């Protein structure tokens, strides 16, 4: 099994255990591939839920640029709801899982097709 496959398996387990959902492995794989080498970097592969600058980066670079959403207060609300569902105390909030959950939340899975 490749390192990427191992990471995707870990992400899928987080989606099951933290969000109570059965992950769409195809979409999760595409999100992970879309993140490129960042998934292998310990710092870049995680999102700090308490760092406002980090959350702004998720909003601007992922929700607005990648998913093509308009700038509204709902964007930050959705990021915070995913962070809350992941668990504020969970240190390892994987970027791929957060991006996957946000893509699902906004119905933007087609961006990865």
**Section 59-72 average pLDDT:** 97
pTM, to two decimals: 0.96
User: CA-to-CA distance for 90 and 104, rounded, in angstroms?
Assistant: 21
Task: Give the residue numbers spanning the domain of 71.
Answer: 3-112
CATH code of residue 15: 1.10.238.120
Q: How many domains does the chain have?
A: 1
Cβ contact 2:84 at 8 Å: no
Give the 3-state secondary structure percentages of the chain, helix then strand then coil, rounded to 5. 65, 0, 30
Burial class of residue 38, CB neighbours in 10 A (0-12, 13-18, 19+): middle
Q: Assign 95 to helix, strand or coil.
A: helix
Query: What was the pLDDT predicted at 26?
Result: 97
> pLDDT tens digits for 70-108?
999 999 999 999 999 999 888 889 999 999 999 999 999
Cβ contact 100:11 at 8 Å: yes
């Amino acid at each position: 099994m490749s390192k990427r496959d191992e990471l995707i398996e870990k992400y899928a387990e987080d989606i099951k255990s933290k969000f109570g959902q059965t992950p769409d492995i195809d979409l999760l794989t595409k999100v992970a591939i879309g993140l490129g080498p960042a998934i292998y970097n310990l710092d870049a592969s995680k999102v700090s839920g308490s760092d406002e600058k980090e959350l702004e980066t998720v909003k601007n670079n992922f929700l607005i640029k990648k998913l093509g959403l308009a700038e509204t207060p709902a964007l930050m609300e959705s990021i915070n709801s995913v962070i809350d569902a992941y668990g504020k105390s969970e240190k390892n909030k994987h970027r791929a899982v957060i991006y996957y959950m946000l893509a699902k939340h906004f119905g933007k899975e087609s961006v990865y097709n």
